[in-house]
Amino acid sequence: MAVVIGVACMFTPLLAISAAGFVAVLSILWGRPRLALVAWLLSVAMIPCWIGLSMFAYVPIQSLVAMMAIAAMTGKGYFERTGFDVYVVLFLVLSLVAVVLAGSNQGIWMEFALQWALSYFVARWLISATGIPFAVNATAIIFSVVGGLAVLELLLLWHPYQGWNMNNLEFATWGEIQQRGGRDRSEWAFGHSIALGGSLALALPFIFKTSYGCIWKTAMLLLMFSGILVSASRSALIAGIFALSLCAIFYVKNVYGRFTLLAMFSGILILTLSVFQEFTRGDTTEEHDSAFYRNEIYQTLPDDFSLFGKSSIVTFSSAGVRVGQFESIDSSFLYIGVNFGWLIVMMLTVPLVLCGYRLIAGRSSIAEVSLLGQIPLLATVALITQYQSLLFFVVGFAVQIAIASKRDRMSASLPRAPAPGVPRQTAAT
């Protein structure tokens, strides 16, 4: 470890200090998976994404903690490889090929690697060591606290991260507090109200699987949902309600009941479509403009997707990425589509379809329900700030639960040894 610090000193003092801090934190987390998991969740929930290091690329604090957490578990024998891990690596490889051969954005690919993949493998490594119940409880508790703090932020007009100035592009992009209707919106440490609301909606279903009693679950539910409300994000509110509806389907025991609930929810959605559309437009001029803008990009951009790689309407400049006449793309699917093409979009969509199938079949987990609940949000906002890290952490969480469930089913299918003193039955008996 001294070698790491010594090499860093050859470059800049800041890098040397960062390396020393890395080594110190790594030594604390070494062999302590529960502490490492809590540390990573707190880095997501309590530290803005503009706190980080600019090295070969910008590395936010969440990714730095992820590196330390994974390094602290290396060689501990917790990790069990799966086919979905290969799928994640294949996604990274193909999207990198799109960068090298088809003009896709290298900066976006670095987000895939540093925020998506690292967060996924943090969940895979750490939760296999901490156990699923601990990870569920930790996620629910931390984001319940975030929900309560977001409410205080709105009521007290208190924005504690506004003074955390950093001379980087991330701070310039996300450091300013948003307003709606002349009033500040709650963002907490997430740099954007939608990222806050989306993260709370993502964590919401985990409450139902915690080991706490009904009173504590109700309190956590109220805190998280209140946090979603004060974010003033319509997409996050819809995602939260959708997630709660999916939780109702999740707890139905038979396939017929799950189909019935899905049909009922679909019927309600169709009957109230006009009301829903009016709600998403909002009341203010800003909200109407936002809804109109989203409708326009959905009508325009899919026709410009290439099969693989960057769309011809995407241009790069010192000011950033521009897509035709649009300055921003308020949809994760469209954003990836114009930058990487249909193939990469389909690779991101297939796991969501699989989660939906598993929900109907009665084989899904609460993490898969949480991911399905994000569909309204993914359709209306790009993956931003540390929200994207939390999203792919939940993807890894879902894979880890699936591994544990498969292991339990295999154990249950094995013949049990007879109790002492009980004669073994034979086929003749």
Q: 142-169 pLDDT, tens per residue?
A: 999 999 999 999 999 999 998 888 888 8
Q: Find, among 196, 192, 203, the residue nearest to 243 by Cα.
A: 203
CA 198 from chain center: how many Å? Answer: 9
- Would you give the distance in Å from CA 366 to the centre of its chain? 14
Q: Which residue has the tokens 């990790």?
A: 79
Distance CA 183, CA 157 (A): 9
Relative orientation angle of helices 132-155 and 214-230, to the nearest 10 degrees: 50
Region of residue 17 (phi > 0: left; psi between -120 and 50: alpha; otherwise: beta): alpha
Separation of alpha carbons 41 and 139, rounded Å: 7
What is the pLDDT at residue 77?
60
Q: Which two tokens stand for residue 71?
A: 């390094």
Which residues make beta-bridge pairs with 315?
A: 322
**What angle, 0 to 180 degrees and rounded to 10, lies between the N-to-C axes of helices 132-155 and 118-130?**
120
pLDDT at 15: 61
Token pair listed for 166: 């950093």
Task: Please give the average pLDDT of every successive group of 10 residues along the chain, which has 429 residues.
Answer: 44 63 77 93 96 90 93 76 95 97 93 96 94 97 98 93 88 86 87 95 96 95 96 90 87 72 65 50 57 78 91 76 79 94 96 91 92 91 94 97 84 62 43
| Close Cβ partners of 291 (under 8 Å, ≥ 6 residues apart) | 280, 281, 282
Cα 287 from Cα 129, distance rounded (Å): 45
pLDDT of residue 315: 80
pLDDT for the residue 64? 94
Please provide the DSSP assignment of 222-267 as one string: HHHHHHHHHTT-HHHHHHHHHHHHHHHHHT--SHHHHHHHHHHHHH
Per-residue pLDDT, 271: 58
Q: Is the pTM of this model over 0.85?
A: yes
Query: How open is the CA angle 94-357-337, to the nearest 5 degrees?
Result: 30
Q: Dump pLDDT digits (tens) for 79-117.
A: 788 999 999 999 999 999 999 999 999 999 999 999 999
Interacting residues of 150 by C-beta distance below 8 A, sequence separation 6+: 186, 188, 196, 200, 226, 227, 230, 231
Q: What pairs with residue 260 in β-bridges?
A: none
User: In terms of C-beta density within 10 A (0-12 exposed, 13-18 middle, 19 or more buried), how is residue 9 classed?
Assistant: middle
- Domains of the chain: which residue ranges? 39-63+70-408
Q: In this structure, what are the phi and psi dihedrals at residue 171, rounded to the nearest 5 degrees?
A: -65, -40
Single-letter code of the amino acid located at 297: I
Task: Give the whole-angstrom CA distance, residue 305 versus residue 331.
Answer: 14
